[in-house]
Amino acid sequence: MNRDCCFDLTADIWIGNNVVIGHGVTFITATHQIGPASRRAGKVEGSSITVEDGAWIGANVTVLPGITIAAGSIVAAGAVVTRSVPANTLVAGVPAKIVRTLLD
């Protein structure tokens, strides 16, 4: 785990074995219900994040609530992870999309 990472601990964050986390990665576990027009950011809700064994998360990645980054996957630097990442895949972009499947 590198420096300048941010862990929002509204809900649990589970990190497996042999995971590499780059500089400036942000794990966000809080979201809000949509409120009325007078205040759209309503009640806070938490949803856990799981990073499974062997995953590599590049620098300055943002992981949103409720995400699982499955075993052996790579999240490219600067990606915003809005959907769970399947095992042994490389994702990149904003929002993160599958670039390719990785060999074992």
Q: Is residue 20 part of a domain?
A: yes
What CATH number does residue 58 fall under? 2.160.10.10
Catalytic residue among 2, 9, 18, 32: 32
Burial class of 37 by CB neighbour count within 10 A (0 to 12, 13 to 18, 19+): exposed
Domain interval for residue 89? 6-99
Q: Is residue 1 part of a domain?
A: no
Q: Is residue 104 part of a domain?
A: no
Q: Is residue 41 part of a domain?
A: yes
pLDDT (0 to 100) of residue 86: 98
Number of domains comprising the chain: 1
23 is catalytic: no
pLDDT tens profile 40-90: 999 999 999 999 999 999 999 999 999 999 999 999 999 999 999 999 999
Q: Is residue 23 part of a domain?
A: yes
pLDDT tens profile 26-42: 999 999 999 999 999 99
pLDDT tens profile 89-99: 999 999 999 99
